[in-house]
Structure 1
Amino acid sequence: MPDYDAILFDNDGVLVEPPSDETLRTAAEDAFRAVGVESPDEEHVAEILRGVTPESLDAVCGVYDLDPDEFWTARDRHASAAQRGEFREATRARYDDVAAIEELSHDFGVVSSNQHATIEFVLDHCEFRDLFDTYYGRELGLESLDRKKPNPHYLDRAMADLGAETALYVGDSESDVVAAHRAGLDSAFVRRDHCRGVELSVEPDYEVTDLWGVEKIVNGG
């Protein structure tokens, strides 16, 4: 049976439902308008929804002569506000199977590439605050874009907070698996409906269909 000091979790798609493309698209369009671009090209809107890199952001900003830091901060502010709206309007919620981990005795942390402000909101709205001992999302601003997964930066910080030497990181994307391995952690890939057909080019240590599977891993079931 694995003997982990801690269990770390991605947020979106693991603890709570992922944001919708429509929500992120509206937020991106609002961010463009906030910096004076009224009619951005659809391709450029799509480029900043998910998986943004410093290089792709620079390319988009170059088209409209935008300051990358100013635009990325606007994008994150609008994306965070839009996601909070999803929870308030009950179009997005926590997964019921979070109940599977609530009785585990491990230290818990959340490490997400979403905005830190969004994670703070989710912890309170979904009544997770007492469950997790530490949590990290990205700070507003361009610097945090370099620190998102698969960079293990926030995983390393969470491990330091917990004083843990061994941990399992639970995620729903290839970048989660890579970040875990770069941090020297085991990885568990949760193959929920939204990532059912995803093909990974890296091998997670475990693959499960829900958080009950995670509970079985750490309890040796």
Structure 2
Amino acid sequence: MPEYDAVLFDNDGILVEPTDRAVLRGAISETYAEFGVDPTSEEVEELMGVTLDTLEGIAAEHGLDPAEFWHRRDMNASEAQCELIRDGGKPLYADVPTLSELSADLGVVSNNQHRTIEHILEFYDLGGLFETHYGREPTLEGIDRKKPSAYYIERALTDLDTRNVLYVGDSGVDVLAAAEAGLDCAFVRRPHREGYELPATPAYEIESLEDLHAILRGDGGAFRPDMEPAT
């Protein structure tokens, strides 16, 4: 009997390589320009991993409607990433094909835009592999619903009709969101996460998606980290 009924995956840094931050900065600068704002480098950076309070502060400073401004920011960021994917700048990881051999239902839950996730699944012909997939909406509510909130994870669990699920991610917010949903998390220490410290201890720490085969068989003891939660 498999250890888990289903596995949910983060997208960036797990299925495809992370987006070059310069591409996102360019999309953000383009958004400011559309609203007649010449931003400082700090204002561009503030819209990278934005909070609702930060966004509303920027919008108030420049007399902008925060919902309209954010929608354009997210649409521009999504289009820039889709173009990057088409140009080969955001490839799949080499271990992704092994997921087709897993004996569990699969899904995707990402902090990236839902539109971007759909493009990735279509472009790489992965749609048939996953039972469900969620990215965030380009709305103010979508900002608050991104991980470490478990909002989209909970929606995926409803779709999968099970809570015996493993979440696979490459960041601290993935570990925290899994914990909020009451799920085990497998942290993948990709090369870009060398030396990266986690805010909590995941159930497993792996180096490749191929290691999931052993975990789903119930042989994941070798991947359980021997460390204390970061403070």
TM-score (norm 2): 0.91
User: 1:29 maps to which residue?
Assistant: 29
Q: Which runs of 5+ in 1 are unaligned?
A: none
Whether the aligned pair in 1 keeps the contact of 2:3 and 2:215 (CA below 8 Å) is no
CA deviations 1:145-182 (Å, max 9, x no partner) are 11000110100000100111210000111000000010
Matches of 1:22 and 1:215, distance apart in 2: 35
User: 1:43 maps to which residue?
Assistant: 42
CA RMSD of aligned residues (A): 1.3
Matches of 2:206 and 2:213, distance apart in 1: 10
Find 1:140's aligned residue among 138, 145, 149: 138
**1:36-185 paired onto structure 2 within 5 Å:** 36-37=36-37, 39-49=38-48, 51-185=49-183
CA deviations 1:12-50 (Å, max 9, x no partner) are 11001111111101010011112221x10110101111x
Deviation for aligned residue 1:57: 1.3
Identity of aligned residues (%): 49
Q: Which runs of 5+ in 2 are unaligned?
A: 220-231
1:45 alignment partner AA = V
Deviation for aligned residue 1:214: 2.2
Matches of 2:218 and 2:163, distance apart in 1: 20
Q: Secondary structure at the match of 1:140?
A: coil
Deviation for aligned residue 1:219: 2.4
Deviation for aligned residue 1:141: 1.4
Deviation for aligned residue 1:124: 0.6
RCO higher in 1 or 2 (8 Å CA, sep ≥ 6)? 1
User: 2:226 maps to which residue?
Assistant: none
User: 2:229 maps to which residue?
Assistant: none
Matches of 2:62 and 2:41, distance apart in 1: 13
Q: How many positions carry a matched residue from both structures?
A: 219
TM-score (norm 1): 0.95
Matches of 1:219 and 1:96, distance apart in 2: 22
Matches of 1:191 and 1:130, distance apart in 2: 26
Matches of 1:34 and 1:218, distance apart in 2: 48
Matches of 1:180 and 1:143, distance apart in 2: 20
Deviation for aligned residue 1:2: 6.3
Matches of 1:200 and 1:165, distance apart in 2: 24
Matches of 1:171 and 1:65, distance apart in 2: 38
Distance 1:215 1:35, change over 3 A: farther
Matches of 2:90 and 2:11, distance apart in 1: 13
Matches of 2:147 and 2:127, distance apart in 1: 23
User: 1:20 maps to which residue?
Assistant: 20
Mean Cα deviation higher: 167-176 or 204-213: 204-213
